[in-house]
Chain A
């Protein structure tokens, strides 16, 4: 009888200890949940001053001056959210300030824009004297996320530039991948003299993206060359460069290494 009482008392003690310990663990865990929730809420209400859909946008980009015939980069695809009144892009541009007013370019990347609610691939061109056209391509697919997509923009003829989106050789999508595509910017006589890559942000609130990596950054002059810091004038350009933290969108080179043997790792994020 006594033995039974002792035994049930020990069981009771064990139960109480279990509840107390679990409560302690939950107590320790709860603040981190709250902090994450607060962070999520805060990120939803970040305001910025980046004009509207059409003008006064904000950029966090890498600028590479110099004549060339193209570029390619691997963009690690992440969903861009836009409960916003503008858009957020992660992209690359091949541009010309020579013989164009104000400039000419071919661009490609991913985008989310007010009114659509999902991230899609796009490319666009502004040709000398020929107009500006935006090409809306396919949406990103589940398998693309966290994997790299290679974007190419390079000259393949007198007035033709190839624009491609394809699976990356390193960390490329393996299943549930969106379709690759190749288009052409035709009747385009621009003499490209600078490259940019990074983020473009329009509007005043609601856009965001996790870290988006731009790796394997190469430029083209008939053959491919990794981007490096040796190109005079190469610099990060924009309002949101880190360090120091400033207005969104943000961009930085991993380990402060600009370019490198395989073109470096530029990271952008917002907001």
Chain B
């Protein structure tokens, strides 16, 4: 009878211990998932269908009449874009020599931007309004096999509506 009681106590302890482990593990998993979620999608990251890296903060309200047009006006000014480019390094580019100089800053259609980039596709429809910034300087990018490529014209292209950086490179 006494032995039976001891066995019963051990079984209960194991059951409670297992429950404790399961609950604890569950909390860990929940925590991990939450962390992962935060890392993947925070308020500062773009939505999964929004293209580009967050860059220029839109602050000009687009009026209802403009939103109905096929090419809405930009939500920021060229000065905003110039300020952003001069205060943020171009992603993935090593700048050597003197500080790059902005030689062109303009809002253009995607089709016109593509022409300025020697036929490079912008990835958005031809009529989409973009902000094109061209710089002169020395820009080094990592090459496909580790050999760097160097260009003296740098380009950054932003979505005129979201302000996101869509393209950066050199030619």
Q: Which of A20, A139, A196 has the most CB of B within 10 A?
A: A139
Q: A55-B94, A183-B121 are in contact. Are A21 and B14 (CB under 8 A)?
A: yes
**B contact residues around A113 at 8 Å (CB):** 91-92
Q: A14-B5, A54-B142, A132-B141 are in contact. Are A138 and B50 (CB under 8 A)?
A: yes
Q: A10-B5, A54-B92, A178-B48 are in contact. Are A17 and B10 (CB under 8 A)?
A: yes
Q: Is B165 close to A, CB under 8 A?
A: yes
Q: Which chain A residue shows the least CB distance to B153? A: A131
Structural contact, B14 and A130, CB atoms closer than 8 A: no
**A contact residues around B164 at 8 Å (CB):** 136
Q: Is B123 close to A, CB under 8 A?
A: yes
Structural contact, A118 and B143, CB atoms closer than 8 A: no
Q: Is A8 close to B, CB under 8 A?
A: no
Q: Which chain A residue shows the least CB distance to B52? A: A136
Structural contact, B149 and A132, CB atoms closer than 8 A: yes
Select which of A57, A119, A184 is within 8 A of B121 by beta carbon: A184
Structural contact, B49 and A138, CB atoms closer than 8 A: yes
Structural contact, A134 and B17, CB atoms closer than 8 A: no
Structural contact, A132 and B48, CB atoms closer than 8 A: no
Q: How far is the CB of B100 from chain A (nearest CB, A)?
A: 14
**When chains A and B are docked, how far (Å) is the Cα of A104 from the Cα of B169?**
14
Q: A140-B40, A145-B36 are in contact. Are A18 and B166 (CB under 8 A)?
A: no
**When chains A and B are docked, how far (Å) is the Cα of A54 from the Cα of B123?**
25
Select which of A29, A54, A125, A134 is within 8 A of B21 by beta carbon: A29
**When chains A and B are docked, how far (Å) is the Cα of A46 from the Cα of B170?**
33
**B contact residues around A126 at 8 Å (CB):** 143-144, 149
Which of under 10, 10 to 19, 20 to 34, or 35 or more describes the interface residues of B? 35 or more
Q: Is A93 close to B, CB under 8 A?
A: yes
**When chains A and B are docked, how far (Å) is the Cα of A200 from the Cα of B53?**
20
Structural contact, A134 and B167, CB atoms closer than 8 A: yes
Q: A116-B53, A136-B165, A142-B37 are in contact. Are A186 and B119 (CB under 8 A)?
A: yes
Structural contact, B16 and A22, CB atoms closer than 8 A: yes
Q: Is B13 close to A, CB under 8 A?
A: yes
Q: How far is the CB of A195 from chain B (nearest CB, A)?
A: 11
Cβ proximity bits B142-171 to A, threshold 8 Å, 1 near / 0 not: 111111110101010000000011111111
Q: How far is the CB of A181 from chain B (nearest CB, A)?
A: 8
**B contact residues around A54 at 8 Å (CB):** 92-94, 140-142, 148
**B contact residues around A214 at 8 Å (CB):** none
**B contact residues around A145 at 8 Å (CB):** 36, 40
Structural contact, A136 and B51, CB atoms closer than 8 A: yes
**B contact residues around A151 at 8 Å (CB):** none
**A contact residues around B153 at 8 Å (CB):** 131
Q: Is A265 close to B, CB under 8 A?
A: no
Please give 8 more A-B residue pairs, beta carbons under 8 A apart, in addition to A136-B166, A141-B48.
Answer: A29-B21, A118-B42, A130-B119, A132-B169, A139-B50, A185-B121, A186-B119, A196-B144
Please list the residues of chain A having a beta carbon within 8 angstroms of any beta carbon in chain B.
Answer: 10, 13-14, 17-18, 20-22, 25-26, 29, 52-57, 59, 79, 81, 87, 93, 95, 102-105, 107, 113, 115-120, 124-127, 130-142, 144-145, 177-179, 181, 183-187, 196, 200, 202
Pairs A–B under 8 Å by Cβ, sample size 18: A14-B12, A17-B10, A18-B13, A21-B9, A53-B92, A54-B141, A102-B147, A113-B92, A119-B39, A127-B118, A130-B171, A131-B118, A132-B169, A140-B40, A141-B41, A142-B37, A142-B40, A202-B142
Would you list the 8 A-B pairs with minimal beta carbon distance, nearest first? A131-B171, A187-B119, A21-B13, A54-B94, A178-B48, A133-B169, A141-B48, A105-B144
